[in-house]
Chain A
Amino acid sequence: METIASEAQAVEFVRAAREARAPFEIVAGGTRRQVGKPTGDLPRLDVSGLSGIVKYEPAELIVTAAPSTPLTEITSVLAEKGQRLGFDPADWSRLLGSNGVATLGGAASADASGSGRLRHGAARDSLLAFRGVNGQGEAFRGGAKVVKNVTGFDLPKLVCGAYGTLCVLTELTFRVFPKPPLAVTLCLADVEPEVGFAALRKIALSALEPAGLAYLPATMMPGVGQGAALIKLEGARQPLEEKIALAHGLLGQSVQRIEEDLFPAIASGEKFADLPGHVWRMMVAPADAPRVVKELNAQHWLGDWAGGLIWLAAAPADASRVRAIAAAAKGQAMLLRGSSDARAALGLYAPQDPALATLGRAVKAAFDPLGLFNPGRF
């Protein structure tokens, strides 16, 4: 395993790998190594030395950091200035049984968004610029460190969710936003999925700018009857009281304020950590969620993003059924946790339409013609 701590070293390493036609796996905190198709026994490039905040400009609403900066570090530095990252990164390390440290680059590369995606968008919506080293061993940048830019192709979009297959990232610049000082969770208890999701969609389509909208059946949240719809609202004290009143107006007075913030545990997938079998993240149109969960007929599941994201634990034998249900709903079932054999067989996502797959391969080749970076991962 090689370690690097600078862009110059990344260039040197990639050039050598290119000469030797030697593919490699890129690892930072290592918490997401078990996601996607296994890359086999390849040499590893340890980029964890590429860490730390490069420049934080609160008044510009941007932060530039090396990709292996721990998520905890960046969120606490931003919080000191009353700000948060433009997207809501999710740390899946407990679910995936990793002792590693979840990083900014890892969250962006895996498009790992928590419950806040509903309101704040995904990593791709707030990554303004990056630096990286392409498969020719050339350092390059994509995007720019300003909040509004349409100059040339929007490459930052591509590296989000690319699982490190396009380049070795060396620097990331994200938008940041003011962090609302307070948050509360409201709970509509003892409702079946259909009713719970309808309530969540009502809030999603309101002007309340909710920070989280999830439905948990009784199996995932004992003591709430058939299940609970959870609504997380944010703001300063007065606006928050106003939002709560408006939520009551939309959903009735039976909505109760609860003390605990359950959303971190929802976003991290840790509620599924101790359950056996595969863990899926299925994205569907939110209004399809009640029908999809009925078809899935699973014991252990929950719906985040007002139904747009369904987390699911399922037996390995159910894999093709899960994928078929997702496909019928024009959704995507991502296999987040599975054995190495299962991930090799099933892939991260279902196979794409051939024309789209061809296009994806051609775009990958534009960055990495020799297939050096995380080959086959995704």
Chain B
Amino acid sequence: MLLPPTNAKIVARRAEIVAALREIVPDGVVADESGLATFDADALSAYHQMPLVCVLPSNRQQVSEILRYAQKEGVPIVPRGAGTSLSGGALPREDGILIGMGRMKRILEIDYENGCVVVEPGVTNLNITKAVEANGFYYAPDPSSQVACTIGGNVAENSGGLHCLKYGLTTNNLLGVTLVLLGGEIVTLGGKCGAQGGLDLLGLVTGSEGLLGVVVEVIVKILRKAPVTRTLMASFDTVTAAGACVAAVIADGVVPAAMEFMDGRAAEAIESYNQPGYPLGSAAILIVDADGVEADVSHAISRVTEIVTQCGGQAVEATDEKQRARIWSGRKAAFAAMGKLAPDMICMDGTIPRHALPFVLDEMAKLSEKYELGFCNVFHAGDGNLHPLIIFDIMKPGEFERAEAFGADILRLCVKVGGVLSGEHGVGVEKRDLMTDMFTSEELALQGRVKCAFDAQGLFNPGKVFPTLSACVEQGHIHVHGAQLPHPHLPRF
């Protein structure tokens, strides 16, 4: 992975920068080596880099002063929530201030009258639901890292989860954010009224991967928990039959609250990991949740059962809440369970049109042979969001490189069939160099100019998302050829 070159002049000024940050946040600067080691990677753990310094502000004024200082001194900034990004969005820089938002974790207001909660960015996704569930409410987006990931990180990545098909991504569940801009200015985008009185900058900032500003406050919508939720597990002898079943369910007009697919290999690994009761010997398993009022759910469950049978599968319904939880506990442990198959794993994330599923599954099997690496498939079938899990052993020479190349080919395949590089994990550093496979040079230049509108100096999260390093003044004159890496002379990171 190639990152913009380290600015040695900034690194040389480290002591002075640390001192300046200590002035702003006396009790929240991490500068010693062992302390910084905690922050040297996110969940894309193959990449490590010690930050120049880490600062942990506890209020928005401190964030504002840090960003004013960073702009004045031209020091790069890498924002970080809980560090659960799977795409390297929070990978530090040797010449950059890592700004960790974990101390800003207060729930500021629970407003049941307006169906929303106002929180600081460091509140975890699950803690929002926990704060309101006693009253029958929840926060809908539920990424599998929800125990740990923060809402600020969710805003940065536009996180999804299991229930996006029906309830949308983070962006569809936000009413407003307060954002600190480079230079320290604090702006409010949206609010409880749900209006912005101008361009939808809230929509732009959501999913911007720390490239535009630092979020210091978030207003999320909360929803009333559905009165009834039922879960169905279906097993199939072929992957194609399972794929056809997914398409048939959607075409039938059923909108499941969640519809998850896993192939036989993943199911077996999970079964041996935490015994959720998955049938062994099937080629593919679907887990389907239906929620709503009783009659809606009964209708959905009986329709899905019929369609499963028509597609040659076998459906079993969870008989009680305990079994429901058990079935889901397996799916949520899918990544961890891969440890049963191999020491290391890369979790990919792309979205395809659902009709392309059989073709993509076939092609992935061919790629697996080509790269001589195993893989499993778990994915959010309802919305076509694939999570191929490539398994390898980093101790075996060449396997990591092959795994990365395998992953990149899978993502190119997604783009080729009309899909995208990322359904919910973001681009980060992981997929940055594939952006040229998906966007033309004009499209990337346009997005680059949008970035410049917020950050003309290119100080926010440099080297993430966009493959080019052009300064804002050069925008509009960028040339990218095919998937060729720009700046090939840069040292390997």
Contacts and interface: CB of A to CB of B under 8 A. Distances in A.
Interface of A: 57-61, 82-83, 121, 124-125, 134, 136, 138-142, 144-158, 160-162, 166, 177-178, 201, 204-209, 235-236, 238-239, 241-243, 246, 283-287, 308, 329-332, 334, 349-350, 352-353, 355-357, 359-360, 362-367, 378
Contact of B418 (A146, A204, A242): A146
Contacts of B172: 121, 125
A353 B187 CA distance: 8
A128 B439 CA distance: 16
Contact of A239 (B168, B253, B293): B293
Interface in B158-172: 158, 160, 164-165, 168-169, 171-172
A311 to B, nearest CB: 14
B435 interface: yes
A363 B453 CA distance: 6
Given A124-B203, A206-B224, A150 B158 contact: yes
A234 B192 CA distance: 26
B275 interface: no
Contacts of A205: 112, 115, 137, 224
Contacts of A152: 427, 435, 438-439, 447, 465
B251 A146 contact: no
A355 B181 contact: yes
A148 B385 contact: yes
Sort chain B's interface into a size bin.
35 or more
A349 B424 CA distance: 33
B247 interface: yes
B312 interface: no
A150 to B, nearest CB: 5
Contacts of B354: 59-60
A171 to B, nearest CB: 14
A363 B450 contact: yes
Given A148-B424, A150-B425, A206-B224, A332 B443 contact: no
B306 to A, nearest CB: 15
Interface stretch (B193-201, B266-274, B327-335): B193-201
Contacts of B45: none
Contact of B422 (A149, A209, A331, A364): A149
Contacts of A246: 227, 293
Nearest to A83: B253
Interface centre among A154, A286, A362, by most B CB within 10 Å?
Answer: A154
A356 B168 CA distance: 27
Interface in B226-284: 226-227, 247, 250-251, 253-255
B169 A148 contact: yes
Contacts of B81: none
Given A151-B438, A205-B115, A308-B193, A360 B201 contact: yes
A200 to B, nearest CB: 12
Contacts of A59: 247, 250-251, 354-355
Contacts of A161: 199-200
Contacts of A286: 113-115
B384 interface: yes
Given A59-B250, A352-B197, A355-B186, 20 more contacts: A146-B352, A147-B384, A150-B426, A151-B438, A153-B208, A160-B200, A161-B200, A166-B199, A178-B253, A207-B227, A246-B227, A283-B193, A283-B194, A330-B193, A332-B195, A355-B181, A356-B198, A360-B199, A362-B453, A378-B198
Contacts of A207: 223-227, 292-293
A150 B196 contact: no
B251 A58 contact: yes
B187 A147 contact: no
B421 interface: yes
A352 B415 CA distance: 39
Given A239-B296, A359-B454, A363-B450, A154 B171 contact: yes
A239 B199 contact: no
A349 B198 contact: yes
A245 B226 CA distance: 16
Interface of B: 111-115, 137, 157-158, 160, 164-165, 168-169, 171-172, 181, 185-189, 191-204, 206-208, 223-227, 247, 250-251, 253-255, 292-296, 299, 351-355, 380, 383-385, 418-427, 431, 435, 438-440, 442-443, 446-447, 449-454, 465, 476
B87 to A, nearest CB: 9
Interface centre among B160, B206, B253, B442, by most A CB within 10 Å?
Answer: B253
Nearest to A146: B351
Nearest to A347: B197
Contact of B427 (A151, A334, A360): A151
6 contacts: A136-B476, A148-B383, A152-B465, A205-B115, A205-B137, A286-B115
Contacts of B196: 332
A246 B226 CA distance: 13
Contacts, number: 245
Contacts of B114: 285-287
A308 B226 CA distance: 23
A150 B169 contact: yes
A205 B224 CA distance: 6
A356 B199 CA distance: 10
Contacts of A241: 295
A306 to B, nearest CB: 9
A82 B253 contact: yes
A149 B253 contact: no
A236 B451 CA distance: 46
A289 B196 CA distance: 18
A238 B383 CA distance: 28
A147 B351 contact: yes
A166 B421 CA distance: 25
B61 to A, nearest CB: 16
Contacts of A138: 442, 446
B187 to A, nearest CB: 5
Contacts of B202: 157
B423 A150 contact: yes
A57 B198 CA distance: 33
Interface centre among B199, B293, B294, B354, by most A CB within 10 Å?
Answer: B199
B301 to A, nearest CB: 13
B160 A134 contact: no
B200 A158 contact: yes
Given A148-B424, A157-B171, A285-B192, A242 B447 contact: no
Nearest to B158: A150
Contacts of B353: 57, 60, 145-146
B300 to A, nearest CB: 10
A188 B203 CA distance: 36
Contacts of B296: 235-236, 239, 242
B166 to A, nearest CB: 9
A238 B443 CA distance: 49
Given A148-B380, A150-B423, A355 B446 contact: no
A56 to B, nearest CB: 13
Nearest to A352: B198
A355 B452 CA distance: 15
B35 to A, nearest CB: 32
Given A124-B203, A286-B114, A363-B201, A150 B225 contact: no
A38 to B, nearest CB: 18
Contacts of A356: 187-189, 198, 201
A157 B203 CA distance: 5
Contacts of B451: 153
Contacts of A236: 295-296, 299
Nearest to A308: B194
A294 B299 CA distance: 44
A154 B203 contact: yes
A357 B384 CA distance: 38
B339 to A, nearest CB: 27
Contact of B199 (A140, A238, A364): A364
